[in-house]
Structure 1
Amino acid sequence: MSIAIEYLYKYIKKFDVNLLAGESGLNNKVRWTHIVENEEIASFIQAEELLFTTGVSIKDDTTLLNIINIAKDHNASGIVVNTGKYIEKISEEVIDYCNENEFPLFVMPWNIRIPDIMRALTIIILESERTYTEISNAIKDAIFLPTHEELYVQQLERVGFKCGWDYVVAIIELEDDEHNTNNIPTYAERVKSYIEKKLSYIRNNYFAVNIGKSVAIVFYNKTDLEVEKIMKGLYISMNKDFKNLKLFIGIGKRVNNLKLLYKGYEEAKNVAKINRLISNNKVHIRYSEMAIYRLLLEIENKEIIKEFHDQTIGDLVVYDKVNNTDYVELLESYFENNCKINDTAKSLYLHRNTVNYKISKIEEILDINLDDIGDKSKIYLSLMIRYLL
């Protein structure tokens, strides 16, 4: 568990620690602390560490700049410089570098002991980790054991959640491009940390938790429009930064009680399933069709929708298999192109007369009339069902 520097800064100000540069990086996460006195030690820096230095081995600005540069390359969180004895003043070059690279640079007077600050930070980080674990477990209980309210209501209210708040659950399901499921838990932790950094500006209105091969984000006191905008932004940025992952987003319905969190989660899972089906089958689905897919997914008896599918276009599926034809594929393209012959022909690189012939053949096989709204609706619904079976 890591915590934003901005949050920690509020606590260490009492030690006369002041931010000198890199304010834009205050949302950087801190997992632990590390004392660095020279460039050789700097090579052992790990990601999300807040660094401290007395400057005992730093003889000039170049050395300090090199250490900060190494720290930045190792994804460290920031650095606190003990000034007054070995380092009297931070140069403009170092300040400019930290500002340009969004790397927080703090200074503290020589009379303040670094171990005192590190001890205080350790307590805060460990306490934060304990609280995070409690919240994570309580949210999982609310989702998977909703009838056992004693496991989560009191625990979440104790840390500031309110039972009567509005909640929206969103999930990001992960899939490795190489389908190696062993890597997913590691990716999920990285994705969660990434989300926490990206959403640091709304720190008090969400909580992210890893659940299996996905990351669930519980938003509270946010409008549906705000959540959709946030998730769209995350999806776009994550696709750029996690090129080896496939991401499937789902946003559930708003619920107005903590005890109904599980419903929002189930809804989000259903929407993610739709997006997975659409993506894996390379099917273009308009947003307006989502409501129909959601309705179909909520039908518990899948045999009912399978029977409807088989009775409606089952004969065409069999005909394609027996005769090695592509009538079902053409029918899908026909509906994707709003039942327009010319657009369908163009998308399939066929002559419009060929498409007309195949449509007539389909009508003959299925004994339907695609100009009839009733027949057209049944076929359209049946084609949607195909991606849920």
Structure 2
Amino acid sequence: MKRYYSAMSVSMQSLYSATKDIYRIKVIAGKDGMNRNVSWMYYTEDESTIAFLRGGELAVTTGLSLERRVQNESALHGGTPESIANAEIEYLAHFITKLSERNISGLILNVGKYITSVPEEICALCDRLSFPLLTMPWEIHLIDVMQDYGNRIVSDRQKVMTTEKALSNALFFPEQFDSAQLDGTRFAGAEKYSVILMQIPEEFFNGEEEKIRRYMDFSFNGKLRIMPSEFACILHESYIVYVFHSDARNVAQTLCTVASHDRYFKGMKIAVSAVCRTPEELSNEYRHAKLALSFCAPEETLCDYNSLGIYRLLAEVQDRRILEAFYEETLGKLAFFSEDKRNDYLNTLSLYLESSGKIQKTAEENATHRNTVNYRIHKIAEMLGIDIQDGQTRYKIQTALYIRKLLKRTECTQEQRL
């Protein structure tokens, strides 16, 4: 799959923080959704056009259609205060629900003329949906806000693409990377860096980059409730690669939870790297996260590189031939067995060593009779010409078994003999 760069990091919160005093904007509901990305501004007075939105837009309305709804209510039913209030609530609730369903980032109400107040029921709805609802005084000109926000979005998009191009070099092409490429970005001068990998489903949007980008930027990542400035999101090969300028282990579980409820990423494996101190080390952390992903057990969805124990050490041997040679000289003679039989014997041997040579415990763990365990252990010792009771020999065999597992889960030229 091709690589793409997430092209958006302007959030509702960043726009609000930068302009709340200029345009006298207030957040009145849906504050939990203020981390949502914003792709563009969209002026609307007609709910019938919502279906044409692509997700991520920040909508703004004067409430002109609401005024017309109130006028119709007055003409049809006499316009009692109660019926008018109910009509306002019904219209706004339907309008906001439709916007939320399209993954719109938020709604600004231009209050003062057609909308004079916002019902409590509407605020409660936005809070339940985590849908940001903001107000702006009527005397503020919409054209000024839309032009300003558009300029901010375009400017930030260029910065983000520059940042993530530099991070791509750091991750995948370290020989092309220089830390100066991150100068002026949110990743420059950070004290910590880390990586999270998430598997992507097969045929994810049929590999269409624009659809993938929009889904990640304006749907999935928004559910993480992490400010976009805290991370970068890159698609590389068969992974979603998250780069954090912090310790990603703090958010890995959140990512797992969101993925478990996502229609595309449910059941996908996730791995988190260790922490490095410089961006030059990010390529190592990407490799570490890939290693952790390969060790993720079938029943697990998250694996931490720091939990891999001795495999972290063995994986640093760059020349795989050294590991293959060690395995071959230690356990290679067992290649005499058929693959199925060899696997049975090696599994028994592994359990035997893990139980400190206790035959009964090995039999119980292996669901095998103790006589079978005894026979297999003696047969292995005979074929290898070793004293299985010798401590150094056991250590060497255990190391060879670790190497076998590592090589089977990573690239290996001798896999048929393992």
Residues in 1 aligned to 2:343 and 2:28: alpha-carbon distance in whole angstroms:
71
SS at 2:136's partner residue? strand
Structure 2 match to 1:294: 312
Contact 1:252 1:265 in 2 (8 A): no
After superposition, where does 1:330-369 map in structure 2 within 5 Å? Answer: 330-335=348-353, 339-369=357-387
Q: 1:340 to 1:133 in 2, by over 3 A?
A: farther
In the alignment, which residue of structure 2 is the partner of 1:24?
32
How far apart, CA to CA, are the structure 1 residues paired with 2:392 and 2:221?
Answer: 46
Select the residue among 157, 161, 165 that pairs with 1:137. Answer: 165
Contact 1:27 1:200 in 2 (8 A): yes
Alignment of 1:34-113 (within 5 A): 34-58=42-66, 59=69, 60-113=88-141
Instruction: Tell me the distance in 2 between the aligned counterparts of 1:361 and 1:181.
Output: 53
How far the C-alpha of 1:89 sits from its partner, in A, is 1.8
Greater RCO (CA < 8 Å, at least 6 residues apart):
2
The letter of the residue matching 2:42 is H
* Gap runs ≥5 in structure 2: 1-6, 70-87, 413-418
Picking from 151, 154, 163, the partner of 1:123 is 151
Structure 2 counterpart of 1:10, from 11, 17, 37? 17
Runs of 4+ in structure 1 displaced over 6 angstroms? 285-289, 322-325
CA drift of 1:254 comes to 2.1
Choose which of 179, 183, 189 in structure 2 pairs with 1:157: 183
Matched, 1:315 2:333: yes
Q: Quick check: 1:175–1:246 contact (8 Å CA) kept in 2?
A: yes
Q: Identity of counterpart residues, as a percentage?
A: 26
Distance 1:367 1:229, change over 3 A: farther
Give the superposition deviation at 1:188.
Answer: 7.5
> Between Structure 1 and Structure 2, how many residues are aligned?
374
Q: 1:75 to 1:379 in 2, by over 3 A?
A: same
Alpha-carbon distance in 2 for matches of 1:286, 1:31:
33
Residue 228 of structure 1 aligns with which residue? 249
2:196 aligned with 1:171, yes or no?
Answer: yes
**5+ long unaligned stretches in structure 1:** none
User: Aligned to 2:259, which of 229, 235, 238?
Assistant: 238
RMSD: 3.3
SS at match of 2:308: helix
TM-score by length of 1: 0.82
**Aligned-residue offset at 1:132:** 0.3
1:306: Cα distance to partner?
Answer: 0.7
Q: Deviation of residue 42 (structure 1)?
A: 2.4
Structure 2: distance between partners of 1:331 and 1:101: 55
* Paired letter, 1:386: R
Letter of the structure 2 residue corresponding to residue 300 of structure 1: Q
Deviation at 1:130, TM superposition (A): 0.3
What's the CA shift for 1:76?
Answer: 1.2
CA offset at residue 309 of structure 1? 0.7
Q: Aligned to 1:360, what secondary structure does the other structure show?
A: helix
Give, as a single letter, the amino acid of the residue that structure 1 aligns with 2:18: Y
Using the TM superposition, give the Cα deviation of residue 329 of structure 1 relative to its aligned residue in structure 2, in angstroms: 2.9
- Distance in 1, matches of 2:307 and 2:387, equals 23
Q: Residue 38 of structure 2 contacts residue 57 of structure 2 at CA under 8 Å; is this kept in 1?
A: yes
After superposition, give the CA deviation of every residue in 1:105-147 in whole Å (9 maximum; x if it has no partner). 1112222222221111111111110000111122233445555
Q: Does the C-alpha gap of structure 1 residues 18 and 323 become closer, same or farther in structure 2, counting only changes over 3 Å?
A: closer
Paired residues of 1:192 and 1:215 also in contact (CA < 8 A): no
Aligned with 1:51: secondary structure? Answer: strand
Work out whether residues 252 and 264 of structure 1, in 8 Å CA contact, stay in contact via their aligned partners in 2: no
Gap change, CA 1:232 and 1:23, over 3 Å in 2: closer
- SS state of the match for residue 67, structure 1? helix
Q: 1:183 to 1:66 in 2, by over 3 A?
A: same
1:379 Cα shift?
Answer: 1.3
